[in-house]
Amino acid sequence: MATTTRKTAGKTAGKTAGKTAGKTAGKTAGKTASRSASKATARKQAVKMEEAGKATPEGMQQEARQDSEAFTAALSMRLGQRVRSARAARAMTMKQLAEESGISLPYLSRVEKGDGNISIAVLYRLATALSLPLEHLLSDNERYGADYALIVELLKRQTHEQLSEIRQWLADYTAGRGGARAQPPGSLRIALIGLRGAGKSTLGPLLARQLDVPFIELNREIEKEAGVNLKEIFWLYGQAGYRRLERRCLERVIATYPQVVLATGGGIVAEPATYELLLHSFYNVWLKAAPDEHFARVMAQHDARIASPQLQQEAMENIHYTLEARAELYALAHATLDTSGKSVQQTLKEMTRLFARRRAA
Q: Taking CB within 5 to 8 Å according to partner kind, which of ligand ADP, ligand S3P, Mg ion, none is near residue 33?
A: none
| Alpha carbons 187 and 258: distance in angstroms, whole number | 5
Question: Does the footprint of ligand ADP cover residue 199 (CB under 6 A)?
Answer: yes
Choose the binding region for Mg ion from 110-118, 160-168, 193-201, 252-260 (rule: CB under 5 A). 193-201
Contact call for residue 303 and ligand ADP (CB under 6 A): no
Indicate whether 201 belongs to the interface with Mg ion (CB under 5 A). yes
Residues making up the annotated binding site for substrate are 243, 266, 326
- Cα-based angle 170, 171, 172 (whole degrees, multiple of 5): 90
Q: What's the rounded Cα separation, in Å, for the pair 42 and 24?
A: 25
Q: Is 266 in the site for ligand S3P (CB under 6 A)?
A: yes
Select the span of 66-74, 89-97, 264-272, 300-308 touching ligand S3P (CB under 6 A): 264-272
Contacts to ligand ADP from residues 237-276, by CB under 6 A: 263
For residue 28, CA distances in Å to 81, 167, 168, 218 come to 21, 45, 48, 43
Say whether residue 202 binds ligand ADP (CB under 6 A): yes
Q: Which of 25, 230, 316, 354 binds ligand S3P (CB under 6 A)?
A: 230
Q: Tell me how far apart the alpha carbons of residues 233 and 235 are, in angstroms, rounded to a whole number.
A: 5
Task: Give, as ranges, the residues between 80 and 109 that touch ligand S3P (CB under 6 A).
Answer: none
Residues belonging to the binding site are 197-202, 243, 266, 305, 326
205 is an interface residue for Mg ion by CB under 5 A: no
Minimum distance of ligand S3P from residue 267's CB (angstroms)? 3
Judge whether 254 and 190 are in contact, CB under 8 Å.
no
CB of 78 or CB of 342, closer to Mg ion: 342
- Contact at 8 Å (CB) between 26 and 117? no
* Spatial distance between the Cα atoms of 306 and 316, rounded to a whole number of angstroms: 15
For ligand ADP, the closer of residues 115 and 246 by Cβ is: 246
Told to check if 199 binds ligand S3P by CB under 6 A, we report: no
Distance CA 202, CA 184 (A): 28
| Alpha helix (H) residue ranges in the chain | 2-51, 57-64, 68-89, 94-101, 105-112, 120-129, 134-138, 146-156, 160-176, 200-211, 218-226, 230-256, 272-281, 291-301, 309-330, 344-360
Residues 6+ apart with CB under 8 A from 132: 86
Q: Footprint of ligand S3P on this chain (CB under 6 A)?
A: 196, 219, 230, 265-267
Interacting residues with Mg ion (CB under 5 A): 200-201
Note the residues at the interface with ligand ADP (CB under 6 A): 194, 196-203, 263, 297, 301, 339, 342-344, 347
